[in-house]
Structures are given as C-alpha cells and as structure tokens.
Amino acid sequence: MAEKNIKFYIINATKIAEEIGLGGRTNTIMQSAFFKVANVIPYDLSVKEMKAAIVKSYGAKGENIVNMNYAAVDRGGDVEKIEIPSEWSAIEVKPVENTKERPDFVKNIMEPINALKGDDLPVSAFVDRADGTFPAGTTEFEKRGVAINVPEWIADNCIQCNQCSYVCPHAAIRPFLLSEEEAAAAPDGTALLKGIGGTKEYKFRMQVSVLDCTGCGNCVDVCPSKTKALEMKPLGTQEAEVERWEYMNYKVGYKDTILEKSKTVKNSQFAQPLFEFSGACAGCGETPYIKAITQLFGERMLIANATGCSSIYGGSAPATPYCKNYNSGKGPAWANSLFEDNAEYGFGMALAVNKMRDRIQDRMEKAENSSLSTETKTAFKEWIQYREDAEKTDEVSGKVIANLKKESDPIAKELLALEQYFSKKSVWIFGGDGWAYDIGYGGLDHVLASGEDVNVLVMDTEVYSNTGGQASKATPVESVAKFAAAGMRTRKKDLGAMAMTYGYVYVAQVAMGASQAQYFKAIKEAEAYPGPSLIIAYAPCIAHGIKSGMGKTQAEEKLAVEAGYWHNYRYNPLLEAEGKNPFILDSKEPDWNMFQDFLKGEVRYSSLIKSFPEAAKELFVVAEKDAKWRYNFYKKLSEDK
Amino acid sequence: MAEKNIKFYIINATKIAEEIGLGGRTNTIMQSAFFKVANVIPYDLSVKEMKAAIVKSYGAKGENIVNMNYAAVDRGGDVEKIEIPSEWSAIEVKPVENTKERPDFVKNIMEPINALKGDDLPVSAFVDRADGTFPAGTTEFEKRGVAINVPEWIADNCIQCNQCSYVCPHAAIRPFLLSEEEAAAAPDGTALLKGIGGTKEYKFRMQVSVLDCTGCGNCVDVCPSKTKALEMKPLGTQEAEVERWEYMNYKVGYKDTILEKSKTVKNSQFAQPLFEFSGACAGCGETPYIKAITQLFGERMLIANATGCSSIYGGSAPATPYCKNYNSGKGPAWANSLFEDNAEYGFGMALAVNKMRDRIQDRMEKAENSSLSTETKTAFKEWIQYREDAEKTDEVSGKVIANLKKESDPIAKELLALEQYFSKKSVWIFGGDGWAYDIGYGGLDHVLASGEDVNVLVMDTEVYSNTGGQASKATPVESVAKFAAAGMRTRKKDLGAMAMTYGYVYVAQVAMGASQAQYFKAIKEAEAYPGPSLIIAYAPCIAHGIKSGMGKTQAEEKLAVEAGYWHNYRYNPLLEAEGKNPFILDSKEPDWNMFQDFLKGEVRYSSLIKSFPEAAKELFVVAEKDAKWRYNFYKKLSEDK
C-alpha cells in the first residue's frame, strides 16, 4: 500500500449496524461508504437515491425499519481515511509461529496457496502429491480468526452438559478433562471446574479455539444453564485463549475412555472430533452432523462425498478439515467424486474393502497347514469369527499383528501388507439434497437396493445450496428458490418413505436441534445395522434467510419440528425381525398453530408474500396441508401393528 | 443353390418333436441332424456322446424324459437330402403382389433391406428420410408367414366376447362388423355370425391375418367358450384367409363407433389397433398392453420409448408397427431415445406440446380485437375453454379450422400452421423394468415428481429381456438371471409404492391375463388423470422359461396373481380428493398353496433347484415370505380409512 500510494479508508460497519439496531446487516452502511469514497456520482445524489430505494423496499414494513436504514445510509458517510506511513514499505513479513511444528505440506504448499501465491508454485512442489491425495488435518494450521465475537466460558454457570460442543459447526469449542498435574501445568488464570458424575477424578474445562471459531453463537443459544455459561465477547478480548487452546488440544488431549463415548451425547464430546475448522458458513446446519459421526466412528471411516457444500468445506484445497486422532494416528479417509455417482462411489469403497478382508480371511484359512505358530493360527480364527464386530476385531487385530511380526513364513508378510484392512470399516456416503433427491438419486436407490452395509447421510437444506439456491425435489411447496421464483408448486419428495419400501434399509429422519439424543441414537443404529442405512438430516442454511440469524440454526431445527414442518423418525428393519413395528415416530404431535409463523420466519417463504401476494396466500395453505398429509402418513405407520 | 451346387438337407423337426412328446422343443433333433450331415465326427460317436449327455442332464427327471430325448437323437438322423434340379439356376424372382399399393418406401427401401440388400442402397434412396423419420405402418407389408400353426375361427362356437383379439400380441386376430352389402361382397365361403347386443344390425366375423400371426396360441387359450371357438391349424390349410383378411381390413374396415369403444374390453376391439404385426416374440407378454392403449388413444398419442425390447419391436428398421387409423389418417408418433433418459424425453414432448398449445391460446386471445369474424372468435373461446378435454377439443377444433380457412387475417395462417397441436395429446412413456427400475429410474422419478400430465407404461418382465436376461431391481429374490446365477438375493423393488409416496401420481399394477377389465380401467384412469401416471404391467417373457410355453403367457399372468406372486391394484389421487382411500387392491386374497408351484413352473426359478439345491431350498421360502410381506403391505394400504 505504501509503495503504490494506495488510498485506504476504514469504517466499523459492524459496530454501527449493532448500534442502530440492524444486527449483523452491514450492506447499506457499506454501500453508502462506497459512494462516499468512490466519487462515481455526487455523494448527495447517491444518498437521495438510496433513501428513495429504501422507502420502496421497506416502506411496507413500517417507519422503524425505514428509519434504521436511513441511519445506515447517513452513518455510512462516516468513513475514515487512513494515512499510510511511508516507512510501511520497509515492513518485513514473518509467518506466525505456532507451538505445533508445521508440516512441510503446510509450509510449502498450503500457506503459499492461502497467500494467493499458488501460481508461483513449481510442479516439483507437488511431487509428493502425485497420487492425488492431500494430507488430512491441515485446517488446524489456518487459524483464520474470522469471528468478530467469540464465546467466553463462564465456568461458574456451567453444568457440564457439553451441548455447546455437540452443536458447534466448526468444532471450535470442546470439553477437556485434566489430571491434577495437567491442571497444575495449565496457563495462568485457566478456570477449571471439578468434574461431575464419572469424571470426578478430573478437572473440567470448556475450551474455545477463538481463532477457529466463526462466531455464530449457536453454542450460547443452546446452553441450557439457567444463567448462560457462555457469552459472546469481542475476539480482541480473548487473546489469552489461544495459548490455552493449544495447551488443551495438544498437551492435555482427549480422554475419551473415562466415560463410554457411545453412551450419551455428553460423553461423546470428550472424544476428539476428526472433522474440524472447515470452511463452512458460520452457523452451518450441516457440519455438526458430520462432526458427531467422526467422534464415534472416525478412526475407521471411509467417506464418499457428493458434490455440493459438503464437498467444498470437506476438502477446500489446500486445507483439509478431516483429521487424525492424536492417539491412534487414524482418521477418516475422504474423497469426492461426481454429483451423479457418489452413492456408487461409496458402494465401490465398501466392495473393495470387503474384497480385501475376504482375501485376509482366505489367506488365514489357507495358513492352517503352514509353519505358523499355533498362537498365530488361534488369533486368525478369532479374527475370522469377529471380523464383522468392529470393537472385537480391533482387539483381535492387535494380537494378530503382534504374532505376524514374529513369523518368517511369506504369508505373514502378505498379511501384514493388508494390515489397514484388519479393522472393520465404517463406510459413509455424504451429500446434500441436490445429490440425494435429484442428480444422484438413481444411484442412491441402486446402492440402497443392493443390501450392502453402507451408511448414507443426506444433509437436507431443501435447496441446492452450494450452486446458489436452485430448487430440488427436497424443496417444499411454496418455498422460493431459483427456477421457482414464484414458489415451488409440488410437494417435497419423501426420500425416506421411498427407501422404506425396500423393508431392509434402515431409515431415519433427524433434526439434532430438536432432539440431540434422537440424532445420536440414529447414527449409532445406522452404523450398527448390517445393511444399507439412510439418515436424512434437516440442515438450516444461509439460503433459507432465517430471520433470527445463523446463530439460531439449532433453535430453528427445534422450531421446525415443533411446528410440524419437519418430523423425526427411525425405521429399523431389525425391529420387524423381532416382530415389532419397525417405524418409530420420534417427534411429538406438532403444534400446528406454529406452522405459519415458522414459514414467515424464513425469507425463502416470506418473500413470496411480497413478490406474489395472491399465490402466497394460497400456497401458505397448501404448505400446511402438505405438512399435515405427511405427518398423518408417518402417524399411520407408527400405529401399524 | 443350383449355381453353387449346394448340398441341401431337410428334416421336419417340429413334427418329430410333437410326435415323440417334446412339444415345440426341436433342439436335440436338430443337433443330431447336424452331426449326421456335417461329418465333423463319426455320427455313431456323436450319438453315443449325445445320449451320455442326456443321462447327465435329465437323469434326475426320470426315464420318460430320457427316453424322449433318446428318441430325439435317433430321429434326428432321419434327415433327408434334397437334390437341387439344375434348372433352378434359371428361376426368376418376382415379388408377391399385394392388393394394397405398396408405398415407395416399402418398395425402394424396406424390401431391399429385408432381402439383405440394404448395403446396395445408395445414399440418394434416403433423401426423403433426411429428417430421420421412418414412415409408420409398414409392417403390414411384411406378411412374414412365420407361424407353423395359426388359429382357425369356428363361428358356431363363438360368443363374440373379443377376448382373443384383446390378448393377441401381434394384432393378428380382429373382430369385424359387416353391413348387409359388405357381407354380400365377402369372398366365397366367408363364415359370418349375426351380431349380438348393440351390433345386431351387422354381421360379425373374427378374422385372422394368417400371414401376420406368429402362432403362439394365446387366443385359443383365453377363449372362454365352452367349446373353443378357435383351433390351431397348419398355416398351409388357411390360405383362403389371406384374401379374407385383406377384404376385412381394407374394405370393411373398423366400425368403432357402433359401440362406445372406451366402455368395455369387448367394445374396444372393434377399434383399429394402431400397433400391429411387430417383431416381438410369439406370445410376448408386453405387446398386448401397448396394442390396447393404441386402440383407445392412438390417434392422439406421442410415445417416448426407452431402450429395450419395446424399442426393438417398436421400431425394428426398416419396418414400423405403429400405424395410422385408416379413417382419420392419424396415429401415434413414436421415437426412441436412450436407456437413461426416456422419461425426460417424454417429459420434453409434453412440455413442447404444452408450449405450442399455449401459443395457440395466446394467438386466439390476441385475436379478440382483430378483423376475424365473430363466429371464428366464438370458436376460439370454445377451444380455450375445452383445450384439456380430449373429445370436446377435437369437436371444437373442427369448427375452428373450418372458420380459419375462410379468414384472410394473417393470424389465421399462423394458427393453421399449428393445426396439429389443436387436439389434446396423450403423451406416453414406454419401457421395461431395466429402464424404469434401474437405468432410467432417476429420470423417471424426476418426471413423476414434476406433476406433468404424462402416462408411463412399464412392461415388467423382471429382467433385462432384450440384452439377454440380466438381473434388474425388478428381479425378485431367488430368480436366476445373468449376474445372479445363484439366484437373486434381494427383494424385488416396489416401484409402485415408491411413486405412491408423492401422493399426486396415479399408480396401477396390472396383469391383463388376470383381469382384462382391471387393465382396461387402469389405462383409462391413467390417461384421464391430469398429472403423472404410472402403470406397471406384469409381462411374461421368453426369458422366464415358462414350462407350459409361450402360448400360455396370459394364463401365466392369471396364475401369478392367483398364487400371490403378483398383485393388481390402482392408486388414484382423485379418490383421496373425494375423501376416499386412494388405494384399491384389485386382486383377491391369493391362494398361497399355489405359490411354490407357480415358481416351479418357470425355469428362471426351477433351475436353481438343480444348480444350487441348498440355496434353492432356502430361497424358495424367502421368495414366498417376500411375496406375503408385499401383499400385506398392499392389504394394509387398502384398509386405510
């Protein structure tokens, strides 16, 4: 800037917006600031035109809204010029030092790309990436610090429920358990609580990674404590948390066996998320679903990801949010294929793993008459017996490997080369509604029909989010979307009901904001089910225009279920085998009086009132009728004998 | 043959097979004949080896079967050498004369191609086909005469129910009504009956086109008369029928307004089939479904055809079985796109037609202030009012056209150019289960979801028939197919139930052999439903290996329903709008005692007993369990309040 003599202006639009009552909406202020400094038309004229436009846009919403926007225009003029000192031209740029050693990939590839210097990288820089893979767990080195406000933990108010951690879209707030020594060695002023329940022997701390937090505020919103144990504070006030985070994350680490992690939502949060700090929007409704799955099954997961938001934040080159468990060194293997073949892609992963594990079993069986020790052969038999039991296989695999390392028979070498396939894998197929309901549906149906043991997670935003908000078959009647500007005219497709017609597919509809426990149950049942599973997760999105903001996405999920807009259920074929009704309707009878208000709370619906008032009147009625039709269908299923 | 001094042998294997009890199975006889004349190994040795193979293949089936096959080997040796007279080299080949003038296309393109001289055709021969279309209705000039036996009508036994005509896969047997004059002018010896019911004023005749018949015998099998009114006779004895057929078809023609054709199956058969003499197999289970649809709606049909058998017999170049009504000159427009996009293809046809009809309406509305006569403008208003009412539109369109021809305003010319779009179209999407359940399912689902007024007919053979019998998702558990040699292991996909989840898709499952009337109802309801309709038709196929033969395909459909293997139902969203249960289970409670016998009656199932006896035992049980599971699901639906 100093060298090129650049004119530099600043304005604290965020602060102004808050002051004048516009919340996080800074666009009018910034527009006014632009006209003030750009001089494309006389500023006075631009102010006059902007105010005229405000009356046109918001006149119907009342004087108060108009005045707030007038103020935004006026205050936008308070833009401030910063004189650039000439000595800035001599500043030397030094990278921030991290306590954790940055891998070569981060130093030599990721950081140059993030600094927009990727074009300068020579081909030779990628020689280690010739197989097309990118290393996992590199988002932890980004430390973007993009939040304006971040949560501050108020230890005294905390009831240690870990709900804030469960819902965090970026894994930026996590509970830690500290031994006496760890507690003693913590940075000065680190507040700690005595652990409760099964964690009494330890100190408890809820730690925020303030440089990874995006500041959405869902953690604060879901905190069930009478007096909130979290409060949003400006990022600048939380600098001390940077060191604390590093101490907790790298030194204290994750004590995920003190409490059985698969037992409760609370327990699960002591496990390390193997999906962290992704590039998803602040408040994203999708990412908390993924994170919880990685906490339970991440070390043995293979993920096939459809095109869409989840493929972008799941692998936004150069940084990768999927990471390895610090203790075991294991984590999800992740890859993205095409929009139209993702189910098939994951199916192929499952087939390939089965084939390799069949080979292991075949070699073990053939080794019966080899020179291997009796102990090794006994371990083989155990492995074969338990190969489909995830926990047991892991235990036995340790034995098998230890024995194989002592053997000289060539078969031992061959088996050790297959070591990564010893553990039972958890194959997941991720995607959005654009993939699952539309473009990839033919393949998804084929894979579900196959009976193969794969797990499908559909993050249903009811619209093509990543490509800009086009209508999909998951878009409900009345919703405004691209290609459906006058409101969608057909009913939302019932993907779950269609999958249920097979009778051997596990199906769940979930909304974690409405029931954290129901989602937790669903992922455990789905993973354990020895066949295809489909979880359809309601995921609020910036494309919805939630009027209460993206800090309330969890609350919006709750509202959706209470109002009858979304229904949570589980269909488990194993129950039918026991002579029970396989269908369980988890959500309660909705309060239909809330339905219209729910719609009006989101711009995708409310905007229709303005643009097509006549159609809107009719479609709001149809939307409620459709929701009831669907609920009645589920209710009938749940009452089946 | 004479010129090249070819050795020529004949054997009447069909006659021998009948004599020794092998029915239509001539393969062993022909194999033996081949060894007798080919001299590749000593004939005695070949006989020994063939007999050894027979014991191996059929030993388990008992002495009787073995002896029949022994006899086949022995009789195969009775092959007879024919001496070719040298004067044959001077024979001049003359085409058969037809009473109907053969169009240029038939003479110049079709006949050369059928004579295997297509390679000799110059590019210029196709100049009139530059748009890619082939003329319709050309199979009537093929007169293949491939049947060995054809039905002979025994007038005295006939009850004039027309069922034989309804089920004929090749439209080769049709009822005709003759006026007094027509009866008098009929060829000598033409048996006629007095018409019954509403046709009393006319003479009635059931006429076979013996040169177009493939000799399957379904007509004889379904004849409900106490003493059959049809009897299979050698083709050679029926030469007189050729002239009679031409007289009936071209001179007498189709009196389809004497009785309301859409009222009953019987009435519908007086209408001209606009799909005739296709290249489908003798006894094909698919083609009778198509034929009936063309009799009701053919004059205003557009058909998008998926790849598969129906695209082959539907347009086996150079001959086309879809044809025009002799009176109106109108008939189905047919085209085949790809396996994976046929639903979309038909959807596009519907959209295009809608667009053109919207344009008609737009021009008519704009003409309000033009110089057109009041009469014309009144006709316009009527057309706009009734444009979605097929019959009424046709009536009004005549008025509009007559008026437009009198007008000089340029808008009249523009509208007359759109004349072909005046009538309401009936858009159909045809395909098999490989298309609908598998490869094209993603698109089919999308089109059904769209709410557009299209009609889908799925001819479900439960296997990829045309490509050679690979398993599809329509293949039920236990069935043997390619890629499922050890029996299919997953349950048949319930395509109808999946479509029903939309709530606004008309769905029917049919098997005309089980209920001719139910199918007739279904096509009328589907066509009339102002939204997407899906008809899933059970279609026996040569790939099933029906032990009673392809002359019993209609009977096999009946058996399938009675045994609980297939279920007929209709789901009509219009009923729900009336507050009724939209689902009607048309088939009766099955007789489950028949289920196992039904399976054993088809080689696709019974072969498993031989190849995988252990698996077969288990899978036969599973197959029945699955069928019951499915029936119970339908039953529950039908009991919904």
Residue range B200-252, pLDDT digits in tens: 999 999 999 999 999 999 999 999 999 999 999 999 999 999 999 999 999 99
User: B441–A445: do the CB atoms touch at under 8 Å?
Assistant: yes
Buried/exposed A346-378: b ≥16 CB within 10 Å, e otherwise: bbebbeebeeebeebeebbeebeebebeeebbe
What is the pLDDT of chain B when averaged over all its residues? Answer: 94
Question: In chain B, what residues touch A440 (CB-CB under 8 Å)?
Answer: 442
For residues B284-311, give the mean pLDDT: 97
Q: Is A509 helix (H, G, I), strand (E, B) or coil?
A: strand
List strand residue ranges (DSSP E) for B348-504, in order: 426-432, 455-460
| Beta carbons of A462 and A471 less than 8 angstroms apart | no
As a whole number of angstroms, the distance between CA B501 and CA B507 comes to 10
Q: What is the DSSP letter of A455?
A: E
> Whose CA is closest to A347, among A464, A442, A416?
A442
As a whole number of angstroms, the distance between CA B175 and CA B165 comes to 7
Structure tokens at A297: 């099954």
> Whose CA is closest to B78, among B157, B27, B12?
B12
Buried/exposed B116-146: b ≥16 CB within 10 Å, e otherwise: eeeeeeeeeeeeeeeeeeebbbbbbbbbeee
Distance from CA of B626 to the nearest CA of A (A): 10
Q: How much is the pLDDT for B119?
A: 96
What percent of chain B has pLDDT above 70?
99
Q: What is the DSSP letter of B308?
A: S
Q: How much is the pLDDT for A245?
A: 97
User: A491–B498: do the CB atoms touch at under 8 Å?
Assistant: no
User: A498–B498: do the CB atoms touch at under 8 Å?
Assistant: yes
**Percentages (nearest 5) of helix, strand, coil residues in chain B:** 50, 10, 40
Q: How much is the pLDDT for A95?
A: 65
Q: How much is the pLDDT for A97?
A: 60
B540: left (phi over 0), alpha (psi -120 to 50) or beta: beta
Question: In chain A, what residues touch B501 (CB-CB under 8 Å)?
Answer: 493-494, 497-498, 501
Q: Chain B residue closest to A531 (CA)?
A: B490
Q: Chain A residue closest to B442 (CA)?
A: A442
Q: Is the model more confident about B77 or about B469?
A: B77
| Beta carbons of B105 and B138 less than 8 angstroms apart | yes
| Beta carbons of B153 and B229 less than 8 angstroms apart | yes
Torsion of CA A592, A593, A598, A599, to 10 degrees: 80
What percent of chain A has pLDDT above 90?
86
Tens of pLDDT, residues A277-331: 999 999 999 999 999 999 999 999 999 999 999 999 999 889 999 999 999 999 9
Q: How much is the pLDDT for B98?
A: 59
Question: In chain A, what residues touch B439 (CB-CB under 8 Å)?
Answer: 442
Tens of pLDDT, residues B519-538: 999 999 999 999 999 999 99
Ranked by mean pLDDT, the top range of A536-545, B92-101, B472-481, B611-620 is A536-545
The reply to whether A491 touches chain B by the CB within 8 Å rule is yes
For residues A522-549, give the mean pLDDT: 96
> Where do the structural domains in chain B lie, given as residue ranges?
3-74, 149-290+301-338, 344-421, 426-506+521-639
pTM for this entry: 0.92
Tell me the pLDDT band of A143, cut-offs 50, 70 and 90: very high
Q: How much is the pLDDT for A60?
A: 78
| Beta carbons of B301 and B330 less than 8 angstroms apart | no
Query: Which is it for strands A455-460 and A426-432: parallel, antiparallel or unpaired?
Result: parallel
Bridge partners (DSSP) of residue A178 are A203
For residues A447-464, give the mean pLDDT: 96
Q: How much is the pLDDT for B445?
A: 98
The reply to whether A532 touches chain B by the CB within 8 Å rule is no
Tell me the pLDDT band of B300, cut-offs 50, 70 and 90: very high
What Rg value do the Cα atoms of chain A yield, rounded? 27
Helix axes A27-38, A63-76, angle to 10 degrees: 40
Mutation for testing the B interface, residue in A453, A498, A626 having most B CBs under 10 Å: A498
| Beta carbons of A248 and A305 less than 8 angstroms apart | no
Tell me the pLDDT band of B443, cut-offs 50, 70 and 90: very high
| Beta carbons of A296 and A523 less than 8 angstroms apart | yes
Q: Is B466 helix (H, G, I), strand (E, B) or coil?
A: coil
The reply to whether B434 touches chain A by the CB within 8 Å rule is no
Phi and psi (nearest 5°) for A82? -105, 125
Tens of pLDDT, residues B561-589: 999 999 999 999 999 999 999 999 999 99
- Does the pLDDT at position B95 exceed 70? no
- Does the pLDDT at position A369 exceed 80? yes
* Domain B149-290+301-338 architecture: 2-Layer Sandwich (3.30)
The reply to whether A8 touches chain B by the CB within 8 Å rule is no
Q: How much is the pLDDT for B483?
A: 75
Question: In chain B, what residues touch A442 (CB-CB under 8 Å)?
Answer: 439-443, 445
Poorest-confidence range of A120-129, A585-594, B337-346, B463-472? Answer: B463-472
Q: How much is the pLDDT for B57?
A: 85
Q: Chain A residue closest to B340 (CA)?
A: A442
Tell me the pLDDT band of B148, cut-offs 50, 70 and 90: very high
- Does the pLDDT at position B19 exceed 90? yes
The reply to whether B439 touches chain A by the CB within 8 Å rule is yes
Q: How much is the pLDDT for A223?
A: 98
User: A443–B442: do the CB atoms touch at under 8 Å?
Assistant: yes
As a whole number of angstroms, the distance between CA A277 and CA A383 comes to 37
Q: Chain B residue closest to A488 (CA)?
A: B450
The reply to whether B635 touches chain A by the CB within 8 Å rule is no
As a whole number of angstroms, the distance between CA B492 and CA B424 comes to 37
Question: In chain A, what residues touch B306 (CB-CB under 8 Å)?
Answer: none
The reply to whether B445 touches chain A by the CB within 8 Å rule is yes
The reply to whether B477 touches chain A by the CB within 8 Å rule is no
List strand residue ranges (DSSP E) for B11-141, in order: 80-82
Q: Shortest CB distance from A449 goes to which of B450, B490, B501?
A: B490
> Whose CA is closest to A318, among A100, A170, A117, A94?
A117
Question: In chain A, what residues touch B436 (CB-CB under 8 Å)?
Answer: none
* Domain B426-506+521-639 architecture: 3-Layer(aba) Sandwich (3.40)
Residue B546 is which amino acid? I
Distance from CA of B497 to the nearest CA of A (A): 7
Q: Chain A residue closest to B436 (CA)?
A: A442
Q: How much is the pLDDT for B91?
A: 87
Q: How much is the pLDDT for B602?
A: 94
The reply to whether B503 touches chain A by the CB within 8 Å rule is yes
Tens of pLDDT, residues A18-48: 999 998 889 999 999 999 999 899 999 999 9
Long-range (24+ apart) CB contacts under 8 A made by A202-205 are A202/A177, A202/A178, A202/A255, A202/A258, A203/A177, A203/A178, A203/A179, A204/A158, A204/A160, A204/A175, A204/A176, A204/A177, A204/A178, A205/A153, A205/A155, A205/A175, A205/A176, A205/A178, A205/A248
As a whole number of angstroms, the distance between CA A265 and CA A175 comes to 12
Tens of pLDDT, residues A225-266: 999 999 999 999 999 999 999 999 999 999 999 999 999 999
User: A503–B497: do the CB atoms touch at under 8 Å?
Assistant: no
Buried/exposed A481-516: b ≥16 CB within 10 Å, e otherwise: beebeebbebbbbbbbbbbbbbbbbbbbbbbbbbbb
The reply to whether A607 touches chain B by the CB within 8 Å rule is no
Distance from CA of A442 to the nearest CA of B (A): 4
User: A438–B446: do the CB atoms touch at under 8 Å?
Assistant: yes
Buried/exposed B168-180: b ≥16 CB within 10 Å, e otherwise: bbbbbbbbbbbee
Interface predicted TM-score (ipTM): 0.90
Q: What is the DSSP letter of A231?
A: E
The reply to whether A503 touches chain B by the CB within 8 Å rule is yes
Element (H, E) at B334: strand B333-336
The reply to whether A451 touches chain B by the CB within 8 Å rule is yes
- Does the pLDDT at position A98 exceed 80? no
B329: left (phi over 0), alpha (psi -120 to 50) or beta: left
- Does the pLDDT at position B347 exceed 70? yes
Q: Is the model more confident about A168 or about B617?
A: A168
User: B441–A442: do the CB atoms touch at under 8 Å?
Assistant: yes
Structure tokens at A32: 């006014």
Mutation for testing the B interface, residue in A344, A435, A439, A445 having most B CBs under 10 Å: A445
User: Distance of CA B376 to CAs B306, B372, B382, B418, Å?
Assistant: 42, 6, 10, 16
Residue A477 is which amino acid? V
Question: In chain B, what residues touch A435 (CB-CB under 8 Å)?
Answer: none
For residues A373-398, give the mean pLDDT: 94
Distance from CA of B442 to the nearest CA of A (A): 4
Tell me the pLDDT band of B61, cut-offs 50, 70 and 90: confident
As a whole number of angstroms, the distance between CA B244 and CA A241 comes to 99
Q: Shortest CB distance from B501 goes to which of A443, A498, A502?
A: A498
Buried/exposed B25-42: b ≥16 CB within 10 Å, e otherwise: bbebbebbbebbeeeeee
Q: How many cross-chain Cβ pairs, A to B, lie less than 8 Å apart?
A: 63
Residue B258 is which amino acid? I
Tell me the pLDDT band of A456, cut-offs 50, 70 and 90: very high
Residue B513 CB contacts under 8 Å (≥ 6 apart), including other chains = B167, B222, B553, B554, B555, B556, B557, B558
